[in-house]
Amino acid sequence: MEPEPLVDTVTLGRAASSTSVGFDEFYLSEMGRLVALARSLAGVAVAEDIAQEAMLVAYRRWREVGALQRPDLWVRRTCANMAVSQFRRRVAELRATTRLTRRRPDATPEPMSERAEEFWDAVRTLPHRQAQAAALRFVYDMPIAEIAETLGCSAGTVKQHLSRARQALSVALDLQDRSD
């Protein structure tokens, strides 16, 4: 492993403190819903891990990410991609297993009602892009244009994903879709 290049410690200190303050505010404002997004797409066992890992990536790159116009969309996209990746979830689940077994009983994830769990289970069975679009819509109440920007696709594609997601969810949950 190559050593990190020497830097001016005073500059680094100033940069680090201002970076840390900006990130802390970002973290506190975003983290709650980020965990919700991760849980909606990947389930309760790995939600905390995935959300934390997305934030870890953001922290490491905060100099660049913090300068983006919408760092919140950046981290939501990171989290959403991590959550639907079967391969990446493999390691996340390994970590989550260890963390869950070490948690105090009062720190275990709170359950939701059966019907709510059923709903999110159905979301997780959707094709990845439909699930991501649906989760972003529900969790953040995002407009179409913002979902499109987050996922890196067109508004038309997002509309298509949402429409198909609604149809599939209605069938899976035996519900009427009043948007028809």
Partner 1 sequence: MDLDELARGATRELLDVTSAGVAQRRTLLDQTRRRRRIGNAAALTALVTLMAGGLLLVTAPPDDRDTRPARPIGEGHGTALVTVNTAGQIHALDGDVAVGVPREVHALSPIDFTSDGTRVMFQAQDGSLRLVDLRTGGSRSLGACAERWCDADLSADGRFVAVGSGGLDSVIEIRPVGEGRIQRLPIAGAAHAPSWSPDGEHLTFTADEGLFLIGKDGRGMRLLWPASGELATGSWSSELMSMTEPASWSPDGSRIAFLATEPWDDDVSAADPIIPVRYTLTVLDLGSGATELSRYVGGCYCLNVSPPAVAWSPDGSLIAVNVVDNGRRDTKGAARNAGVHVVRPDGTGWRQLTTESATWGLAWQPSMG
CA distance 72 to 23: 11
d(CA 83, CA 46) in angstroms, rounded, equals 8
Rg over alpha carbons for the chain, rounded to the nearest Å, is: 18
State which of positions 3-22 bind partner 1 (CB under 8 A).
Answer: none
Question: Cα–Cα distances in Å, from 132 out to 43, 49, 115?
Answer: 13, 18, 20
**In the 8-state DSSP scheme, what is residue 108?**
S
Site residues for partner 1, 40-59, by CB under 8 A, read 40, 45, 47-48, 51-59
Shortest distance, position 37 Cβ to partner 1, whole Å: 9
Site for partner 1 in 69-108 (CB under 8 A): 74-75, 77-78, 81-82, 84-91, 93-99
**Six-digit token pair at 106?**
């009062």
- Under the criterion CB under 8 A, does residue 130 sit at the interface with partner 1? no
Task: Indicate the residue type of 111.
Answer: P
CB of 14 to partner 1, least distance (A): 20
Indicate which single residue of 116, 125, 145, 156 sits in contact with partner 1 (rule: CB under 8 A). Answer: 116
Q: Which two tokens stand for residue 114?
A: 């059966």
Tell me whether residue 149 or residue 155 sits nearer to partner 1 (CB atom): 149
Among 36, 144, 153, 155, binds partner 1 (CB under 8 A): 36
- Residues within window 131-160 making contact with partner 1, judged by CB under 8 A: 138-139
Compute the least distance from the CB of residue 143 to partner 1, in Å: 16
Q: Under the criterion CB under 8 A, does residue 61 sit at the interface with partner 1?
A: yes
Shortest Cβ distance from residue 54 to partner 1 (Å)?
Answer: 8
Task: Report angle CA 18, 152, 49 to the nearest 5 degrees.
Answer: 55
d(CA 115, CA 175): 12
**Smallest distance, Å, CB 65 to partner 1?**
6
